Amino acid sequence: MGQCGITSSKTVLVFLNLIFWAAAGILCYVGAYVFITYDDYDHFFEDVYTLIPAVTIIAVGGLLFIIGLIGCCATIRESRCGLITFVIILLLVFVTEVAVVVLGYIYRSKVEDEVNHSIQKVYNEYNGTNADASSRAIDYVQRQLHCCGIHTYSDWMNTRWFNEFQNNSVPVSCCKPNVSNCTGSLTRPGDLYPEGCEALVVKKLKEIMMYVIWAALTFAAIQVFGMLSACVVLCRRSRDPAYELLMTGGTYA
């Protein structure tokens, strides 16, 4: 019965190490996705420290690949030193992922204040040219999120761009995609997105941070199983002199 338990623990451990390799790729993908998306919205969120969870999760992803390699080798070879190293590194990574979750929640709670503080400034800097970073950011957000203005399309009437051009229109990025020949004229409000961008930008940024949080939580839970399985193997190996090798089926002297 005990031998069955230890064999099961070793099998689970090898399987978990394969999952760690998959997790490494997924975590790196999530981190890269956060970086790319942040680049599209960075004008609305000036606190670069928000990227700390993304940086950390990419580092954890790289480390998980190494952990999976160490874990597989240590399990197959029945190396006590390797398994101890494996458990210690897993524990450190687990603590790091808990820190990522905490930081994710902290920065997620700051998103709304950051956006509220910066969005008016970004809209005032809009000049309608593709060469201007703020203008590109606003046009991108309005097209992607299907919004116009800060709270509604009429907010454009309070911007410097609207007052300078005085053509009673908003940027064409406010136009609904199914409307042909839309010029952004305020005389045809039905052609424009009715919803403002502020709430949608906040929602999008919070969603991005939740991806990081859930990814860290999921793989932290998997790592707990990995640590428990490694500990079972280590304890059984120390107590049972007739410890069976996973790879050869022979006995350990």
What number is the average pLDDT over the span 114-138? 82
What number is the average pLDDT over the span 86-91? 81
How many angstroms separate the CA atoms of 85 and 76, rounded? 15
* Distant-in-sequence, close-in-space partners of 32: CB < 8 Å, separation ≥ 6: 58
What mean pLDDT is reported for the chain?
A: 78
Which backbone phi and psi does 251 adopt, to 5 degrees? -105, 150
Q: Please state, as a whole number, how many other Cβ atoms lie within 10 Å of the Cβ of residue 239.
A: 10
What percent of the chain has pLDDT above 90? 10
How many angstroms separate the CA atoms of 162 and 179, rounded? 22
How many angstroms separate the CA atoms of 106 and 47, rounded? 12
Q: What is the pLDDT of residue 107?
A: 80
Q: What is the pLDDT of residue 48?
A: 62
Q: Are 95 and 103 in contact (CB under 8 A)?
A: no
- Binning pLDDT at 50, 70 and 90, where does residue 124 land? confident
Q: What pLDDT, in 10s, does the model give residues 2-48?
A: 444 445 556 766 777 777 788 788 888 888 888 787 777 777 766 66
Q: Which of 108, 109, 120, 104 is nearest to 198 (CA)?
A: 120
Could you tell me which residue, 174 or 117, shows the higher pLDDT? 174
How many angstroms separate the CA atoms of 163 and 132, rounded? 18
What number is the average pLDDT over the span 55-74? 79
Q: What pLDDT, in 10s, does the model give residues 185-231?
A: 888 888 999 999 999 988 888 888 888 888 888 888 877 877 777 77
For 114, the enclosing helix (H) or strand (E) is: helix 80-124
Q: What is the pLDDT of residue 180?
A: 84
Residue 146, pLDDT > 90, answer: yes
